[in-house]
A and B are shown apart, each in its own frame.
Chain A
């Protein structure tokens, strides 16, 4: 499982509240990713990081921000949660030199009411 954990695993929050999801890895991988998965849309990339303090946007980044102050932690923040952000969020890492061989965390199920 490449030593990836996500917290929390489940969260219910109200519209308008800030939410931070944490991804933690233990193997010093440089590349980390946040995806969301919704029925009918498959997995979609939100943001990714290619090193400490180096991040970039994915295809569905609006309403999300990320931070990576340490190699092992990649945080995803919803500044003001909306119902459309109800989803399952997956964190992933990739092995150096091959972005297509990614290893995913267990996921966080977020419900915004």
Chain B
């Protein structure tokens, strides 16, 4: 599984766009990039997954450059309720067996 590096913490203000970048230099050809969100006292929640270029859903966008050595999770117009820890994971989602490796994540703090 490719190792990921992401900032430990980020601060933002309500209404701003937040971009969290994850570095994964050793990503393999079959690997996908997946992001989870975790609120205090809750289990992680799947946000988005992508392989290349751009993926968008109702919650976030995921930008992946052509070399796939990094990815950026974009949260549009954050609110206080987006304060959470965000985890970037890299691996093949079709290798069943639950080999999810969570790193330290990025603690996002949204201020009024």
- Where the two chains meet, the residues of A that have a C-beta atom closer than 8 Å to any C-beta of B are 31, 33, 40, 42-45, 48, 50, 56, 58, 90, 92, 94, 97-107
Contacts and interface: CB of A to CB of B under 8 A. Distances in A.
Contacts, number: 70
Given A42-B87, A42-B104, A42-B105, A99 B45 contact: no
A13 B46 CA distance: 32
Contacts of A107: 41-43
Majority DSSP secondary structure for residues of A touching B:
strand
A100 B97 contact: no
A106 B42 contact: yes
Contacts of B89: 100
Given A102-B46, A104-B44, A107-B42, A48 B97 contact: yes
B112 interface: no
A101 B46 contact: yes
B57 interface: no
A90 B42 CA distance: 9
A42 B102 CA distance: 6
